Structure 1
């Protein structure tokens, strides 16, 4: 909290110095601050990312709006096996239902997207819905062999089943993405 207050005060000071530079009086710090951009401040994580979801018919991707992220990222949609018995214990999701390879947010940190790279979901009967999660990975993922094999297949294909979300994370990192990490998740129910 103290760091964020200091940062806000420093940014206000830079703005004041920049205004003084425009009016004809300047110093060394004002000359340096003209090259700094607001975009570099928005990714400091002062506010946690938030999301909103508009679900649609099962054959169309849910419409997701993310707030608070300023860098490019990959969105991965996972969920439970909809045909499994819900009364029995199940692993933590792990079925790949959708992927958006690269989302580019605006300078304000807002991005709206669909899962246009890949989306495949079974028919969901009304009242029989389940939980799904949109996982955000930054920097954007490079598609490894397991993800490439899963893309374009039917929802019931075993290539889409990764065991759990945690195992999917391990597979993503082991397939050439050591710097990419899951930075947030947005979970919702489609019914």
Structure 2
């Protein structure tokens, strides 16, 4: 399709661009940008991934850890962090409460009396995992960031950051512009499409009691 050159810019919505085979795109100067949640250059991340590599080599385990790329996909990394945070919360709860195992019943709705305390302990956990610093506020994760990355000829490089607090901060704006193309006018075209609703708002509200 002749769409593999510097005139085209592709934005990948996947957080796992570093696990893709991009050799066919590296030397054509095609613009490929994406976000990532896992910073493989972080000391804590490298330490955890090193432990996974040792485990895999000892037990010959085929896992989601990419040994050649020395990275891990975002989804299993989030699962790893979630289980670890749950374990920390449960261990902290055990230090102040006597945990009793309750038999589950499909006939009786008897909640576990330690659930609220466990949630509070999980919300108080602060830890640095595969997906960066983990901290919660009212049940929501805060203080996290996404790296803005861009494909260069030899590797994928970080060119900025995004966080809920500061939003997008591009540290290498020159990588998004052609140095020889000054005063370029971009023409953007869009189509306004109106969709007729099948019923009015009043009908919607009256039917959703």
Higher strand content, 1 or 2:
1
Q: Which has the higher contact order (CA 8 A, sep 6+)?
A: 1
Q: TM-score range, shorter-chain basis?
A: under 0.3
Largest Rg, 1 or 2: 2
With the length of structure 2 as denominator, give the TM-score of the two structures: 0.22
With the length of structure 1 as denominator, give the TM-score of the two structures: 0.24
